[in-house]
Amino acid sequence: VLSLLVAEWLLGRTPEDGAGPLTQRRAALVSDRNLAAWAARLGVPDRLRLGRGEEQSGGRGKESILAAALEAVVAAVYLDAGLEPARRLVAALAGVESP
């Protein structure tokens, strides 16, 4: 869902761009690094439930864990409220931090 919504958001902003540039920007936006930053802005790290070992190894700050958690948040919004609220969430996040 997240990748679809990011692609849709990009296409709406720059419809004149070809597939190559749009694909590169989408890949940058859905990278673990960027999704982890979005997750941090939403306060996701403070709400994670981690196992003892993951907590001790710094899991709360791992980009891969935060990225996966952010994807889960977007999917949950989609499942609970529908496509439009998920679209608004992604647009709000992407509009602030787009590469």
Domain membership of residue 33 as a residue range: 2-96
Instruction: Write b or e for each residue in 53-83: b if 16 or more Cβ atoms lie within 10 A of its Cβ, otherwise e.
Output: eeeeeebeebbebbbebbbebbeebbeeeee
Residue 97 has pLDDT above 60, yes or no: no
CA dist., res. 87 & res. 4, Å (int): 10
Mean pLDDT of 5-9: 91
Mean pLDDT of 73-84: 97
Q: DSSP letter for 97, please.
A: S
Domains identified in the chain, total number: 1
Instruction: Provide the pLDDT confidence category of residue 95 given band limits of 50, 70 and 90.
Output: confident
Which pair of structure tokens corresponds to residue 25? 């920007």
Residue range 41-65, pLDDT digits in tens: 999 999 999 999 999 999 999 999 9
What CATH number should be reported for the domain holding residue 57?
1.10.1520.10
CA dist., res. 84 & res. 66, Å (int): 23
Global pTM value? 0.86
